Amino acid sequence: MGSLADKRALITGGASGIGRATALLFAREGAAVAVVDLDDDKGQAVVREVADGGGQAIFVRCDVSLLADCQRAVQETVDKLGGLDILFNNAGIIRRATVIDTTEEEWDRVMAVNVKSIFLLSKYAVPVMEKAGGGVIINTASGWGLVGGANAVSYCASKGAVVNMTRAMALDHGAQNIRVNCICPGDTDTGMLRTEARQLGESEEYFLAEAANRPLRRIGRPEEIAQAALYLASDASSFVTGATLVVDGGGLAG
C-alpha cells in the first residue's frame, strides 16, 4: 500500500511536465487521479500510462480560468472517483516581458491561469473536503514568487500572489482539517522552460545552460518536484500548513 492509498487527487496541468510526473507518482502511491488539462491527447495519454501501471485515472478537459469548467472538474472528480482528498493547483503559464511590453490581454491571461484558477478550484473543492473531514491543497508557486525576476513581471506578480494566497487559505481552513501549502520550484525541465527561451529570443541550449547556474549545477526534473508534492499530499507532512517549500537546487540560497 502506498502513502496515498485510497486517496482521490485532482491535478491541474496534469497532461505534461510537473503535473504529468505528479499524476504518475500519485497513482503509483495508491491515489486515484483526475488529470485536468486543456490538451485532450496528452491528458488521455497520461490516463493510459496510469492504467498501464495498474492505477486509476480519469481525464477532465478544463479551462482553469473559467468558473463553470472548474466547478464541473471538481464535480466530475467526485462523481467518478468517489470524492476529493487532494487538490494540486499546478496549471501555469508564463509571459517573459516587462510592464511596457506586456499587453493587457497577456497580463489578464497569466493572472487568470496562475491565480484565479486556484481561487476557482479551491472554491469548489474546500466544501467537498470539509464535508469529508479534511483534505490537502497544494499550490504551485515559483522561486520568482519569493524574489523578483527580470522580464517576467506578470509571472512574478502571479506567483507572489500564490505564495500569500496559500498562507491566507491555510489560516481560513485549518479548522476544517484542510492543509494548504505551496511549492516554489526552480527552473525545471518542462515545455514551459523552453517556451521562455523562445519568448526571449534565445537558443534553448544557451537558456538551459544559464538556468543551470545554481549550486547543484543543473535544472530540476519534473519527477523531483513531484516528490515534493507527494510529501505535502501525504501524512508525512501532517503538521505542515501555510508553508512554502522551495525546490530549486539551491538557486535562492545566496
Catalogue the active-site residues. Answer: 155
Q: How far apart are the first and last CA of the chain?
A: 40
Which cell is 155 given? Answer: 509571472
Helix 204-211 vs helix 191-200: crossing angle, to nearest 10: 110
- Separation between Cα atoms, residue 16 and residue 31, nearest integer Å: 18
Cell numbers 473559467: residue? 66
| Greatest C-alpha distance within the chain | 53
Whether the Cβ atoms of residue 64 and residue 70 lie closer than 8 Å to each other: yes
Q: How many CB atoms lie within 10 A of CB 172?
A: 13
48 neighbors 20 (Cβ within 8 angstroms): no
C-beta separation of 140 from 185 below 8 A: yes
Q: Rounded to an integer, what distance in angstroms lies between the CA atom of residue 76 and that of residue 8?
A: 12
